[in-house]
Amino acid sequence: MSTATIAPSPSVTVDNSCSDRPSAPYTNFNQITHEQFQQAADHMKLEREIQLLLRTPYRELIVQIPVRMDNGRLELFYGYRVQHNAVRGPYKGGIRYHHEVDLNEVRSLAALMTWKTALVDVPFGGAKGGITCDPTNMSRNELQSLTRGFTQKIDMGLGIYRDIPAPDVGTNAQVMAWIMDEYGKKHGYTPAIVTGKPVNLGGSLGRDQATGRGVMIVTREACKAFGVDIKNARIAIQGFGNVGSWAARLISNLGAKIVAVSDVKGGIFAEKGLDIDKVLTHVASTGSVVDAPGTQPVSNEELLMLDVDVLIPAALGGSITDKNVDDVKAKLIIEAANSPVTPSADARFLSRGVRVVPDILANAGGVTVSYFEWVQNLQQFRWDLDKVNHELEQRMISAWNAVHFRHTNENISLRLAAYTEAMMKVAEASRQRF
């Protein structure tokens, strides 16, 4: 049974440490994205006006969602939709259901979406949504009421050329189906209002595996570029949800050894490499990777410190911090999750020569195939899986090439290269509009 989830009104602090900074609300989590933005803005000598426009979100909605729970009690939830920037196209980004969701986190993730869509060159801006709730503790009925209530409350901000939600942590194709259905009650049949839908309702083939496939593509390309033989590479993946499990499956198909994976309940290790299909079967029957046959237990913390060639954090943000960064042995980090490495840990990695493929590149496969889904919905025409995967491969590789080129050419981190590449596109579109 769900406990009461009554969020206080979001705390707002005003940071005026930069004289050119508008009186916008910034709190800690958002500071991560903000620091990354600022480093790139300084590196590319971005003019003040464009910095002002890109630094803050365009619009933020905070809504109250009352839900009659199965036990008859009324619970109050809070939901957020932050629209960061739309100069390159409609707002786009997922909706997260998690007990730690707050305005600050959603704001940060919305900005990441703006850079991500620009980097892979899909004609979208950036947005993010979320509801502070624990979906693992809610029934199907409760989740459905919550989702429909949220959709009604943010309806005025949505539209197929305005803002298009998608799944994120704690949401899935079913939640997207409810959003489409609720939106359709008012506006008529509108499949393009949301991506990541069930294939039966207009979802794209390959969307469920798209983020994991994108992670596989950049892992393969990064290994090639930095002299790691993927066929003999030892890889650990933290997180075995949609992204982590697809990445594990697709990367092991390349011949790499996935020696460890984990989920919220714990992790598993096998020196000779895990049989990912067997792990998936175990998860399907028990709900967790823990105790999969033929494996040794490993904690989430220990997994990060394993002696591996590649580490893929695919869980939540902030898993590699000042506290554990120096224990990480991998020389290549692929950020499948959003913001898994804090800025100070990132600086440590840079000084130690550890390469970090940033989230806005590593996990951009999801929104790329969301774009394909939206295009298919607008055209009422379905692509086959080969076409989806082929187009995804091309966009991921050209984004990788652009970032890698800038990284080498300007001798900057992959993150700074990716941000610079993305922000240049958004900045140029802003100049053309203003």
Name the residues that contact ligand GLU, by CB under 6 A: 92-94, 116, 166, 168, 195, 338, 363, 366-367, 370
Question: Which amino acid is it at 355?
Answer: R
Q: Which is nearer to ligand GLU, 168 or 208 (CB)?
A: 168
CB of 370 to ligand GLU, least distance (A): 3
- Report CA-CA distances (Å) from 224 to 6, 51, 230: 49, 35, 8
Q: Which is nearer to ligand GLU, 196 or 267 (CB)?
A: 196
Residue nearest to ligand GLU (CB): 94
Q: Which is nearer to ligand GLU, 172 or 350 (CB)?
A: 172
Q: Which is nearer to ligand GLU, 168 or 309 (CB)?
A: 168
Question: Which amino acid is it at 143?
Answer: L
Q: Which is nearer to ligand GLU, 149 or 170 (CB)?
A: 170
Helices (H), 155-290: 173-187, 207-225, 242-252, 276-286
Question: Which amino acid is it at 367?
Answer: V
CB of 369 to ligand GLU, least distance (A): 8
Q: Which is nearer to ligand GLU, 190 or 329 (CB)?
A: 190
Return the structure tokens found at 213. Answer: 């496939």
CB of 367 to ligand GLU, least distance (A): 4
CB of 81 to ligand GLU, least distance (A): 13
Helices 385-410, 414-433: inter-axial angle, 10-degree rounding: 100
* Residue 270 near residue 297 (C-beta atoms within 8 A): no
In DSSP notation, 327-392 reads G---SEEE--SSS-B-HHHHHHHHHHT-EEE-HHHHTTHHHHHHHHHHHHHHHT-PPPHHHHHHHH
Asked if 128 is an active-site residue, the reply is yes
Q: Which is nearer to ligand GLU, 182 or 359 (CB)?
A: 359
Which helix or strand (DSSP H or E) is residue 12 part of?
Answer: none
CB of 225 to ligand GLU, least distance (A): 23
CB of 195 to ligand GLU, least distance (A): 5
Q: Are strands 310-313 and 332-334 parallel, antiparallel or unpaired?
A: parallel
Q: Which of 128, 257, 265, 425 is catalytic?
A: 128
* Span between the terminal Cα atoms of the chain, in Å: 51
Cα 170 off chain centre by: 12
In this structure, how many other beta carbons lie within 10 angstroms of the beta carbon of residue 269?
A: 17
- Report CA-CA distances (Å) from 161 to 116, 374, 375: 18, 10, 12
Q: Which is nearer to ligand GLU, 208 or 309 (CB)?
A: 208
CB of 218 to ligand GLU, least distance (A): 14
In this structure, how many other beta carbons lie within 10 angstroms of the beta carbon of residue 290?
A: 17
Closest CA to 421 of 396, 397, 403: 403
Helix (H, G, I), strand (E, B) or coil at 295: coil
**Beta strand segments in 16-150, E:** 59-68, 74-85, 91-98, 126-132
CB of 175 to ligand GLU, least distance (A): 12
Q: List active site positions.
A: 128
